Amino acid sequence: MTATTDLETLERDLLARVGAANDEAALEALRVEALGKQGSISALMKNLGSMSPEARKEFGPKLNGLKDRVTEAIVVKKATLAEAALDAQLKAEAVDVTLPPVKPRLGTIHPVSQVMEELAQIFGEMGFSVEEGPDIETDFNNFTALNFPPKHPARETHDTFFMDARDERGDRKVLRTHTSPVQVRTMLKQKPPIRMICMGRTFRKDSDATHTPMFHQIEGLVIDETSTMADLKSVLIAAIKAYFEVDDVKLRFRPHHFPFTEPSAEVDVGCDRSGGQIKIGAGDDWLEILGSGMVHPNVLANCGIDPEKYQGYAFGMGIDRLAMLKYGMNDLRAFFDGDTRWLKHYGFSPYLLPGLAQGLG
């Protein structure tokens, strides 16, 4: 076999192996094997010095041509492998721009905020506006205007948080003990007819599994010339059915006493207590859920409304308790612990706003 034949055989072998290389690591190993200092082609180049001038003149150009063709084949193959790797990476990282974007998690809505949104939706559908008021209130708005007598127990320090600051009457201000002062503020600034709700924080000196020093209330007020207890009952039935998302509820009105309503009634809702859970709208048990009544004439007069011409009704419920009943929490204190695990479990998506059509919860 001649030297030329040996070169042709070596070239076919090297080019075939270049073509078969399936990654850059294999291709680099082949380059070192052929063109490195100890490579097969490099070894032949070293032998040129021992050849005769005639043989070197004939064999040298052929060997250089082999080296150039193998080098070019390796460069081309490397570029092909790099392009294929890029294509694979782009395919793996491809984004379908026709799909909706992935919405980042913005946190969760606290159950109290969720219930407030649900109640605002429910009563808004019935024509109630939402009014607001401050957490720190005057004695007049919190007690006097609402027909609390001077020595009423609620005015004592064992029930109420009193502030050092005093109002223009010289009375000490208080952390409001209910949201009823918002009703007073509304009646003072607005002439009847009035149809409003108010929601917010309230404060009383109480703490156990179902009571906390700060809690949340919703209260409703309607003042016009024709409202009756029957209207109050129909509004409460509709609201409770919508909130608990049940087809039917039973309400029981029990006579009670509130300074700001006459007649007054505590309201029980029909429920089922079997199985360790309370189910609203089923069963033969009862659960006290709110207070209500017809607005006392003294309250109307204190707010500058003629009780001979106007009348109305009011009601109040604990928002935290409504959340517990609907969503299954058993300890009110956990609402205010700031435990992110609890909030993650009981919280609501900020993207799902409540609505009566698609459901509240």
pLDDT in tens, 203-262: 988 766 666 788 899 999 999 999 999 999 999 999 999 999 999 999 999 999 999 999
The pTM is what? 0.67
**Residues 11-66: tens digit of each pLDDT:** 788 888 888 888 888 888 888 888 887 878 877 777 777 777 777 777 778 778 87
CATH class of the region 111-346:
alpha beta
Q: How far apart are CA 355 and CA 162, in angstroms?
A: 39
Predicted confidence (pLDDT) per residue in 210-227, tens digit: 667 888 999 999 999 999
Rounded Cα distance between 141 and 189, Å, is: 13
pLDDT above 70 (res 105):
no
Average pLDDT value for residue range 148-176: 81
Query: In terms of pLDDT, which residue wins out, 359 or 13?
Result: 13
Average pLDDT, the chain: 86
Query: Is the peptide bond between 181 and the residue preceding it cis, with omega within 30 degrees of 0?
Result: no
For the chain, domain boundaries: 3-92, 111-346
- Which secondary structure element, helix H or strand E, spans residue 257, and what is its range? strand 251-258
Q: What is the mean pLDDT of residues 143-154?
A: 86
DSSP helix/strand/coil, 1: coil
Distance (Å, rounded) from C-alpha 93 to C-alpha 344? 31
Q: How far apart are CA 124 and CA 118, in angstroms?
A: 10
Strands 162-166 and 251-258: unpaired
Q: pLDDT band for 339, please (50, 70, 90 cuts).
A: confident
Higher pLDDT, 27 or 3: 27
Stretch 262-270: mean pLDDT, rounded?
A: 95
Token pair for 280: 């609203």
